[in-house]
Amino acid sequence: MARIGVLALQGAFREHIRVLRRLGAKASEVRLPQHLAGLDGLILPGGESTTVSKLAADYQLFDPLRELAAGGLPLWGTCAGLILLACDAGDDLPLIGALDVRVKRNAFGSQVDSFEADLAVSVLTEPERSFRAVFIRAPLISYVGPDVKVLANLEDTNGIVAVQQGHLMGTAFHPELTDDDRFHRYFLSLAEG
């Protein structure tokens, strides 16, 4: 049984933990560097990226997170977590900088511009069934490095919204806010690898 941490500084960490536990994983809240010990994987959830980044710096989490990413621990960033995991967010926001992507924060507008979209995602179980993604003040991936695999695009804009680089994964949307647990199952397969 995989032991998955969820960064619990702000945002949708409880929803991720609920899904993980339903799938049989040992899920725990991560707030301090010592909470990172013994994990098989870590989820960086959505929330407000500026707030999460400031709190991660205050709790001295950036260096340990960078070390875990460099050491091969599976990490998955959703929405704001994707921003933190990225190498470039177009501003001076402190980042982990492990995922070779550039993201545009709040690419689709403000909270009132939130939306849902059906995505084709070939790496998920039942790939013929679309994944209904929830976008809330979501980022958009504007560049992917040569080792980054695009997992999903928005059909109407062809904008990149899900990627994987080896043990690192990023989604611009919130899988934890749906009843579809296929992205969590996929991440668990990486952690149990």
φ/ψ (deg, to 5) at 61: -95, -20
Judge contact between 107 and 135, C-beta under 8 A.
no
Residue 18 is part of a domain; what is its CATH number? 3.40.50.880
CA distance linking residue 35 with residue 55, whole number of Å: 15
Residues noted as catalytic: 79, 174, 176
CA distance linking residue 59 with residue 31, whole number of Å: 7
Judge contact between 181 and 170, C-beta under 8 A.
no
* pLDDT per 10-residue tile (average), the chain, 193 residues: 96 96 98 98 95 96 98 98 96 94 87 89 94 94 97 89 98 97 98 92
User: Which domain covers residue 170, as residue numbers?
Assistant: 3-192
Q: Give residue-wise pLDDT tens across range 39-73.
A: 999 999 999 999 999 999 999 999 999 999 999 99
Pairing of strands 168-171, 160-165: antiparallel
